[in-house]
């Protein structure tokens, strides 16, 4: 189910330092490059999903948790911390900005929080990049220290967390437990905004995704791809290994 998406205007500059352009031209250039990239994908065995009004995070989350891919090795390419919660023995994340690869084990070692409970931990911390205020004084280090059960594979519920806070608040004056109880509404709000365990997708979107992965268009139009690359200035780069991989995928999925 590969759809052909057409790029609009011609580029002002392609793969140049667009920071030197006026703001309106910089935006136009970025949009052109994004749409041009989609046109490249149309020629190779890569499945694309585009849904109006749907977050890419939810599509990635839904795909990573599908039973059809339960035994498949999955790679999420993003620097976004939101995807930490999706990491399993079969799902890893490559963060290109940080130049690191994370998996379930490394998340545990780095944060002392299991991916199954990472959304709960981040709901306490908040996310400044998305303007989501957390609960004051509760960063990930403090959360891991005060709630050691979050490093377990078992998913912690609101009931588990609140009962633990009530018990601890009777035993100690540590502010973290009292703050959770005082800001339960903030915790619940943040969790529902940040969690990807239950992605927000319409029934129709889920249907389209399932149908696409069951019968993907894995054609490889090498001739057209090379024409586009020459036109855009990539003609001198050697892509032999990549083309061989595309051929193998196309043949395996006939």
- 64 and 48 within one domain: no
Specify the pLDDT at position 4: 46
**Beta carbons of 209 and 63 less than 8 angstroms apart:** yes
Query: Do 84 and 156 fall within a single domain?
Result: yes
Say whether pLDDT at 248 is over 90: no
Same-domain status, 98 and 181: yes
When divided into structural domains, the chain yields a total of 2
User: Quick check: is 110 in a domain?
Assistant: yes
Other residues' Cβ atoms within 10 Å of the Cβ of residue 18: 17
Average pLDDT, integer, range 80-96: 95
Same domain, 94 and 174: yes
Per-residue pLDDT at 21: 61
Provide the token pair at 163.
């009962």
Instruction: Give the residue from 179, 194, 209 where a domain finishes.
Output: 194
What is the pTM assigned to this prediction? Answer: 0.78
Question: Average per-residue pLDDT in the chain?
Answer: 87
Q: Has residue 223 got a pLDDT over 60?
A: yes
**Residue 217 forms beta bridges with which residues?**
none
Q: What is the pLDDT of residue 185?
A: 96
33-47, 131-145, 159-173, 225-239: which range is least confident on average?
A: 225-239
Q: How far apart are CA 179 and CA 136, in angstroms?
A: 8
Q: Are 152 and 30 in the same domain?
A: no
Residue 8, domain member (yes or no)? no
Q: Clarify whether residues 212 and 154 are in a common domain.
A: no
> Is 241 a domain residue?
yes
Bigger pLDDT: 49 or 182? 182
Smallest CA-to-CA distance from 69 within 218, 202, 212 is with: 212
Determine, yes or no, domain membership for 9: no
Classify residue 1: in a domain, yes or no: no
Answer yes or no: are the C-beta atoms of 113 and 144 closer than 8 Å. Answer: yes
Pair 103, 26 in one domain:
no
| In-domain check, residue 164 | yes
* Four-point Cα dihedral 250, 251, 253, 254, nearest 10: 110
> Are both 182 and 91 inside the same structural domain?
yes
Please indicate, yes or no, if residue 5 is contained in any of the structural domains: no
Looking at the fold, whether 48 and 60 belong to one and the same domain comes out as no
Residue 6 binned pLDDT confidence (cut-offs 50, 70, 90): very low
Find the domain containing 93 and state its range: 56-194
Q: Which of 85, 121, 119 is nearest to 104 (CA)?
A: 85
Alpha helices by DSSP H, the chain: 23-41, 56-64, 104-111, 118-125, 140-146, 158-171, 175-182, 184-194, 203-214, 222-231, 240-252
- pLDDT tens for 114-149 read 999 999 999 999 998 889 999 999 999 999 999 999
123 and 156 in a common domain? yes
In this prediction, residue 20 carries a pLDDT of 61
- Domain identity same for 184 and 74: yes
Residues 121 and 224 reside in one and the same domain = no
């Amino acid at each position: 189910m590969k759809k052909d998406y057409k790029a609009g205007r011609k580029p002002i500059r392609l793969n140049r330092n667009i920071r030197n352009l006026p703001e309106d031209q910089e935006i136009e250039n970025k949009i052109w490059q994004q749409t041009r990239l989609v046109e490249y994908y149309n020629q190779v065995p890569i499945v694309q999903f585009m849904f109006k009004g749907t977050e890419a995070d939810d599509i990635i989350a839904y795909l990573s948790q599908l039973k059809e891919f339960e035994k498949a090795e999955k790679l999420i390419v993003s620097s976004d911390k939101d995807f930490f919660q999706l990491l399993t023995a079969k799902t890893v994340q490559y963060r290109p900005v940080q130049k690191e690869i994370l998996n379930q084990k490394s998340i545990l070692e780095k944060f002392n929080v299991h991916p199954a409970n990472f959304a709960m931990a981040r709901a306490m911390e908040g996310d400044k990049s998305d303007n989501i205020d957390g609960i004051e004084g509760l960063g990930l280090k403090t959360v891991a220290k005060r709630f050691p059960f979050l490093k377990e594979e078992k998913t912690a519920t609101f009931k588990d967390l609140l009962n633990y806070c009530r018990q601890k608040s009777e035993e100690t004056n540590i502010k973290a437990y009292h703050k959770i109880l005082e800001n339960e509404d903030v915790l619940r709000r943040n969790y529902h905004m940040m969690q990807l365990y239950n992605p927000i997708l319409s029934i129709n979107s889920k249907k389209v995704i399932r149908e696409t992965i069951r019968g993907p268009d894995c054609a490889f139009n090498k001739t057209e791809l090379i024409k586009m690359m020459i036109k855009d200035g990539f003609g001198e780069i050697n892509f032999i290994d990549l083309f061989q991989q595309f051929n193998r995928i196309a043949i395996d999925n006939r």
